[in-house]
Amino acid sequence: MKTEEIARDLISRSTVSPVTSEDSFAHLIQMLKKHDIKSELREYGGVHNLYAGFGDESVCFNGHMDVVPPGNGWTSDPFDPVVTDGRLYGRGASDMKGGLAAQIAAFLELKERGHSGASLMVVGDEEQGGRRGTSAMLQDLREEGRLPKVGVIGEPTDLDIQVGMRGIVWLDIHVFGDEYHASKPRLGDNATSDLPEVLKTLNGLEMSHSEDDKLPKPTSEVTAINTGDVYNSTPSRITVGMDIRYVRSQSPKTIVRDVESALSEVEADYRVEVRSHSGEPFLLENRGFQEAAVSAVESVTGDTPEAVTSGGASDGRFFAREDIPFVEIGLDTEEVHVANESCSVHRMRQLKESYVQLAERI
């Protein structure tokens, strides 16, 4: 099948995250079988994932089947893909069923060319954190002695080469007060009274760190406020959620210390906790692999891709945890999670050929 046909088939299947149905992989399993490639489904916490390989399985193509909900504002059915003016429209076209289609097509072509070996890892949980997808599967492969030598991840990059990323920590800042009936105000300390000053401090947070010339500057953002859902009582606790993207001179411990230090100037009863630490900052140190990726894309597109370290989270952090060199190369970043999501069919074909060329250079 051509890359576009594979992409159409993938988009036509509603696989809103996480993927809990085996049927979502049935057609892909049959496609691989026609090329004499055995595949296996692996389930982690009710989420289904597919793994297939041939030869020494040294090059791992990693992508995710799950997509975010389509939301509103579409001018066509998000799960009925259409091509208009050279662009393929549908939920996941850019993130990342277009990239996944390019990976599958490249994987099949490498098998037909007699390549020494590659593997295909298609996971059903990336959009919700990846713990029941790439993270769990790489742990299993390590125990089985089957870890790949390198990884090629298809997340959107505008066909640039993603070689690094900041770490991610989510914090819960609990602000405490007295709980009492709303009809009898001022019987105690209402936690909402302290909230404005707490938010002002958190929004102006400055974190201690050394300048990192390879990664973007660290960022912090208040992303959630939870007071509970009781309207006739004051909250005994308000939880403020924060998203922190941090660099190599920082750690969850130093970040918590910085937040506590900033809040010490506020007259409030509070506690800071790490809610989630989903990835360390990383940077690809394998120059040879990075240069091979640049050369592969350049040979196909005629343009020299940039080595980038910006962007959001990806399953690359799990490859980094296993000390597996990897790069991310994918489609349009501006189309991620938007209504009328689309990708260029021409760029999708170029991406597929870039994957083939990269595997041949390793």
Cis peptide before 69 (omega within 30 of 0): no
Query: Distance between CA 339 and CA 122 in Å, rounded?
Result: 24
Query: Distance between CA 61 and CA 99 in Å, rounded?
Result: 10
Does the annotation count 66 as an active-site position? yes
- State which H helix or E strand residue 258 sits in: helix 252-263
Q: What are phi and psi of 309, to 5 degrees?
A: -135, 10
* Ordered strands of the 269-279 beta sheet: 219-226, 237-246, 167-176, 269-279
Provide CB contacts within 8 A for 94, sequence distance 6+.
Answer: 156, 330, 331, 332, 333, 335, 336, 341, 342, 343
Are the C-beta atoms of 313 and 319 separated by less than 8 Å?
Answer: no
Three-class DSSP category at 257:
helix
Q: What are phi and psi of 4, to 5 degrees?
A: -65, -40
- State which H helix or E strand residue 344 sits in: strand 342-344
Active-site pick, 57, 66, 127, 335: 66
Does the annotation count 189 as an active-site position? no
Active-site pick, 57, 95, 125, 126: 126
Q: What is the set of active-site residues?
A: 66, 126
